Amino acid sequence: IAILRQGFRDAGIHDMLALHVTALEAGALWTDLDTYATGLTEDPNASTLSIHNAVEEGRSTAASREDIAARYAVTVEADTAPAHAALHAQGPDFVRHTVTELVTLIRTRGNPAAELAARVGLCATISPTARDALMFTANGNEHAAAHAFATIARQVRGNARIQILTVAAYCSYISGDGPSTGIALEAAQAAVIDGNGEHDTSLRNLLDFALEHAVSPAAVTTQLHAISAEAARSFGVDVDNLDS
């Protein structure tokens, strides 16, 4: 707590209380770490900040670390056969079609269906450049993009899951959501280990370094947005019209 407080002071932030609670939910017992006073937590979803996040950004307050981790837990695997068929039929246009469709879905805060999830997962494994093109979809819609990629990551496996979890971590990072970033990166690392170390990425290592050293989201955005936009442009994506 002393180290955290010093970090806040160095950043010009004045802390009022240091409270510990096992879960951010109504009725949870909180403890003041300075005085050891206790009390019951009010409903965090009824706070001004939570209401703003829900209305303006479509996201809710997670009650616990387990709730965040559940966003990335595997679910029913999407059938990859239609995605491979689309790649065969569309050829060089496959990435462009996939990125453009995903941009539309993210901007409308939609949930990726299994068919799209499989195509996005396949797109992420074609090449690092194709994976980077997917990162472009987050521009201006970071929270919705983080949700979409987390949903996709649950439905894909192997290399696709590693790449999509890494993109989900990127979206969370540039939205300023450190806890979700860290848990997404941990899930990606677990997928790397499950794959015997194959398909690890320099992007995952970069984001892990940025999180560990508290690099500002703005700095990460500045570094990677131009890369993702150029990657998308290389596949024929209409970046200028899609960029918000």
Backbone angles phi and psi of 199, in degrees to 5: 65, 15
Domain co-membership, 26 together with 76: no
pLDDT at 44: 82
99 neighbors 136 (Cβ within 8 angstroms): yes
DSSP annotation of 63 reads S
Indicate the residue among 13, 28, 63 that finishes a domain.
63
Domain co-membership, 155 together with 51: no
Q: What range does the domain containing 216 cover? A: 70-242
Domain co-membership, 37 together with 14: yes
> Could you tell me which residues come within 8 angstroms of residue 187 by beta carbon, excluding any fewer than 6 positions away?
69, 72, 153, 165
Domains in the chain: how many in total?
2
pLDDT per residue as tens, the chain (244 positions)? 888 899 888 888 888 899 999 888 889 999 999 999 999 998 887 888 777 666 666 667 777 889 999 999 999 999 999 999 999 999 999 999 999 999 999 999 999 999 999 999 999 999 999 999 999 999 889 999 999 999 999 999 999 999 999 999 999 999 999 999 999 999 999 999 998 888 899 999 999 999 998 899 999 999 899 999 999 999 999 998 876 5
C-alpha 133/C-alpha 236 separation (Å) is 10
Domain co-membership, 113 together with 209: yes
pLDDT at 22: 86
Domain co-membership, 151 together with 52: no
Domain co-membership, 26 together with 116: no
Strands 29-32 and 19-21: antiparallel
pLDDT at 45: 78
Half-sphere exposure of 75 (CA within 13 A, CB side): 14
pLDDT at 214: 86
Domain co-membership, 27 together with 112: no
C-alpha 3/C-alpha 198 separation (Å) is 37
Indicate the residue among 28, 63, 98 that finishes a domain.
63
Indicate the residue among 43, 63, 83 that finishes a domain.
63
pLDDT at 243: 65
pLDDT at 63: 73
Domain co-membership, 151 together with 100: yes
98 neighbors 112 (Cβ within 8 angstroms): no
Domain co-membership, 27 together with 127: no
> Could you tell me which residues come within 8 angstroms of residue 191 by beta carbon, excluding any fewer than 6 positions away?
158, 161, 162, 165
Domain co-membership, 238 together with 191: yes
Domain co-membership, 98 together with 145: yes
Q: How many residues does the chain have?
A: 244
Domain co-membership, 237 together with 136: yes
Residue type, 3: I
